[in-house]
Structures are given as structure tokens and as C-alpha cells.
A and B are shown apart, each in its own frame.
Chain A
């Protein structure tokens, strides 16, 4: 009984993905063949070769990696500093400021969108990596800070107080003591940030003008319009575009799951 339910669930979650992967190996003519087959005689790596030999497509990957890695580093560092402040200090506007930080999560991206374009142009960073990195930091920081604060709160204060008495400043305490033992929480924040930055679409579309600044999700979108659906190439690009996140997720799933649930749902 449990097994039947388990397998039905796995079909619901896994079959669509399996179909996407298998279709990416078909020729464009066979993708909607009747009757459909998981693997047919047109099986080849042709679509992958097409994507990987196209410098334009590779540029999307390079951009995605660069932006996602930069965002991850910046968000991790910023959220450690903010989390330390919220977890270890009492100060006048603490409550208001934490409410604002939590509240940012609820701001709809589309609400920011209309003035955002003008603002980015005014800051002189339109169509640059900086525009994407700063924007994704805004989207990821709120949750990252909640996760980091939650993680620091679970660590006993005696730890940092011991260092303080020995004459270390607060910064030394943070860097030498708290950061090394918070590695699981930091990894969770990093994976979360990377996933979000890698996947973002709306702002990547609006804040970039030239293809040399665009990321993988936009590359997929561009393939949709161009020359009548190149289905197999689009699917191959999708599979390749999902691999980094999938690998990251498989490697760090324990940290990630623990960190996510500690951050979002502290009952």
C-alpha cells in the first residue's frame, strides 16, 4: 500500500522531468511523433552539440555562473554581518529594522519593476553585471538574514563572551569563532542564494539589453521566439541549465533542508 503510493508520487514528480531529458535527445521532428516513445531511433547528442558549440549560448552560461557566484559571495558576507548584529546586540531600532528586513520578502518584484529600470539607468549600471548582482542581493538578503540570525541564535553566547573577555573585538569574535562553527548555516544560505540568482528571469530580461550580458533563463526565452521552436535545443539548454543547481542541491541537501526549515518556519 505504502509502496503503491510511493511510486505514484514518484511518477507525478519524476516522469515530467524524465520526459524532458529523453526529448532533448530526439530530433526536432520526432518530439511530437505519434505514438510517443521515451527513446526512439532519432536518439543523438545533436542538440547538446549545437548548444555547446554556439559561443552565444556558452556566454549565457558564463554570465549565469559569474552573476550567481558574485551574488552568493556578497549575500553570504552581508547576511553574516546583519545576522550577527540582530542576534547578538540590543539596540534602539532593532525591532523596526528586523520587521523591514522580513517585510522585504513580501514586496512583489513587479511593483519594483516600473521605477526600477529608470533607477538602474540613473545609477549608470544598466546592462551590466552590477545591476543584476545588486538586484539579486535585494531579493535574497531578507531570507538569508532570517536564516543567519536563526542560526546564530542557536549558538550559545558563552562562546563569544569568552573571546571578548580575552580582549578580542566583536569583529574578531564573529570571524574567528562564530563563522567557522556556523558553516552548515552559511552553506544553506549560499545554496539558496545561488539557486535564486541562477534562476531569476524577470529582472534579467529587463535590466539587460545585449546578449553578452544575458543569463541562461533569458537564453531559453530567446530560443522560444527565434526560428520556430527549436524544441530539442531548448530542452538541451534547459537540462544543461538545471545541472548546476541539481548538483549543488544533491551535494548539500542535508545542510540546505535543515537551513531552509530553520529559517522559514520557526513555529
Chain B
């Protein structure tokens, strides 16, 4: 689509001043955004990149020393860093997949023709509920439920599903799954909302045609619903993957990154603000940035904000 600059419409405005103004205007409208992003995003990113190439940065009696990629070498061979990478990947992939499954199932349920509008509206609010809570509150909520003497252990014991009390958030083998579960609970509503909008956008004729061809419910879902939702699914999954890698508060306030639940964000935070090793922390921060940028490239491609 070719956009026409509005002042082009006015034939009398083609003087030199007008033309210069027309060139300048779009930048003027963007300037508050650009200044803010330059100062508070570009500057920190460049700084953190420089830090990652030096030793003895920030509060250090010795002068900074250029070490090239040494910090990266050190970080990438660190056993704890590798554990954080694999935890982060598990945390993010499991979250994205289960978010998708729950979000889609709930959206299909709420889209069912068998239910009245009021019933749908009521259940929609309940299903979206986890979304309105902030990560620190979600952390408190699940620490309450997952406490060894909490209600989850009580119910599971009563039904004989577990032989003894489980320390959900302090057992090294269980904690990472528990934290992932909490993230799943808190994040699926975004998928639900997007899928609801997506489902309403699928034309009824497609289903009519499918039914005329003798398709059953499963075939209609597989050959019409899923392909129609495909673009939404892809951009949601990529965005969610990035957000899950960003997640800090939830992990920090449930396990603090201990009990084998260290993810890249908590690892970086500890390296910087507990160990005060800002050089190494900057290198891990850059690694996270690179991973997210890589995923973001695919995300941007799936967006059509930029008119081609």
C-alpha cells in the first residue's frame, strides 16, 4: 500500500517551505518516542555491550581493562550458566506449548454454539482471571497453595495421588516443573483472548463448504480452524517465547532461582547484584539479548505493521 502524505492533497501547498515541513513532520511526531528510546534503550544496550568486553567495570578500584571476548568464553563454559540455559529453554518451550494447548481449548469451548451469550461472557471473565494478577502476586498465591502444608498437598493426599507431602517449590527435582506450571497458569489467557478474536474472524462459509464435503468435526478443525489460525499461532508463540525468557519476577519470588530453577534472568541478576561481577553479568545479558533478537526477527517478519 502506498501512503499519500496528507499535504500532497492540497495543490496550493507546494512551496519550498511546505515541502521541507512535510519532510520534517513525520519525524517531529516520532521525536518523543525516538528520544526516549535512544536514551533509555540504545544507550544502555551499547553500554552493556562495552562492559561485556572489559574487566573491572563499575565499582572496582582497578581501571577497566579490555579483554575482548574473554568474558563470553568464561561465561559459556561455566557449568552453572549451562544449567541456566537448559532450565530457561525447558521453562520457555513447555510454557509456550502448554499455553497454546490450554488457550486454544478454552477458546474453542467459549466459541461453542451450544452455549448462550451470557454463559460465555461469565466463563470468559473467569478464564481470563489469571491475567489481571501481577507476577509478584501470582508468586504469593502459588506459594500459599504449594506450601507443604497447603491445600494442594491436602487434596492430592486425600485422593491418594501422592504418597507423602511434596515440597513443590523446595524439592530440587520438582521445583522447576512447579515454577513452569505457575507460569503456564498465569500466561495462557493472552492466547485465549487472541484465539477468540481469531476464531470470530473465520468466515462461516468455510465451515459450510467443509460440511457439504462431508467433513466431521475433527476434520473441520484440522483442515479449516488450524490453518486459519496459523498466522496468529506463529506470532503468539514467538512473542510468548520472548516474554518467558524475560520472566524474572515469578522465578525470583517463588524460588529465588535456587533449587535447580536458575534461569538466565535470575542468573544474570545474581552475577551482577550479589557477586558484583558486572563484566560477566554483562556478557550473559548480551547472550539473552542475542537469543531474544534472533526470535524477534521471526516475529517482526510475521507482523505486517510496515507497509511493503
| Cβ proximity bits B101-141 to A, threshold 8 Å, 1 near / 0 not | 00001100100101100000001011111111111110011
The reply to whether A90 and B2 contact each other, CB–CB distance below 8 Å, is yes
A124 contacts chain B at the CB level, 8 A cutoff: no
Distance from B101 Cβ to chain A, minimum over Cβ atoms (Å): 12
The reply to whether A111 and B289 contact each other, CB–CB distance below 8 Å, is yes
Given A114-B51, A118-B58, verify A257-B3 contact (CB < 8 Å): no
A235 contacts chain B at the CB level, 8 A cutoff: yes
A17–B131 CA distance with the chains assembled, in angstroms: 11
The reply to whether B288 and A242 contact each other, CB–CB distance below 8 Å, is no
The reply to whether B144 and A231 contact each other, CB–CB distance below 8 Å, is yes
Distance from B298 Cβ to chain A, minimum over Cβ atoms (Å): 10
B residues near A81, Cβ cutoff 8 Å? 29-30, 32-33
The reply to whether B7 and A110 contact each other, CB–CB distance below 8 Å, is no
The reply to whether B136 and A220 contact each other, CB–CB distance below 8 Å, is yes
A32 contacts chain B at the CB level, 8 A cutoff: yes
The reply to whether B132 and A265 contact each other, CB–CB distance below 8 Å, is no
B residues near A29, Cβ cutoff 8 Å? none
| Cβ proximity bits A230-267 to B, threshold 8 Å, 1 near / 0 not | 01001100100110011001100100011011101111
Distance from A250 Cβ to chain B, minimum over Cβ atoms (Å): 7
Residue among B36, B127, B137 making CB contact with A138, cutoff 8 Å: B36
**Chain B 203-237 residues near chain A, CB threshold 8 A:** 230-232, 235-236
A10–B133 CA distance with the chains assembled, in angstroms: 16
| Stretch among A41-49, A52-60, A96-104 lining the B interface | A96-104
The reply to whether A103 and B305 contact each other, CB–CB distance below 8 Å, is no
B residues near A89, Cβ cutoff 8 Å? 3, 5-6, 25-26, 29
A108–B272 CA distance with the chains assembled, in angstroms: 15
Residue among B44, B134, B149 making CB contact with A112, cutoff 8 Å: B44
B residues near A175, Cβ cutoff 8 Å? none
The reply to whether A202 and B248 contact each other, CB–CB distance below 8 Å, is yes
A235–B144 CA distance with the chains assembled, in angstroms: 9
**Chain B 255-304 residues near chain A, CB threshold 8 A:** 264-265, 268-269, 272, 278, 281-282, 285-286, 288-289, 292-293, 295-296, 299-300, 303-304
Residue among A79, A119, A224, A261 making CB contact with B44, cutoff 8 Å: A119
A-B contacts besides A103-B293, A111-B44, A112-B44, 4 pairs, CB < 8 Å:
A90-B3, A111-B289, A217-B135, A261-B194
Interface residues of A (CB under 8 A from B): 2, 5-6, 9-10, 12-14, 16-17, 19-20, 23, 31-32, 34-36, 78-79, 81-82, 84-91, 94-95, 97-116, 118-119, 134-135, 137-138, 141, 145-146, 149-150, 157, 160-161, 164-165, 167, 170, 173, 195, 198-202, 217, 220-221, 224, 231, 234-235, 238, 241-242, 245-246, 249-250, 253, 257-258, 260-262, 264-267
14 examples of A-B residue contacts, CB within 8 angstroms: A6-B109, A20-B140, A110-B268, A119-B40, A138-B37, A138-B41, A141-B33, A157-B6, A200-B134, A201-B136, A241-B134, A250-B125, A265-B197, A266-B304
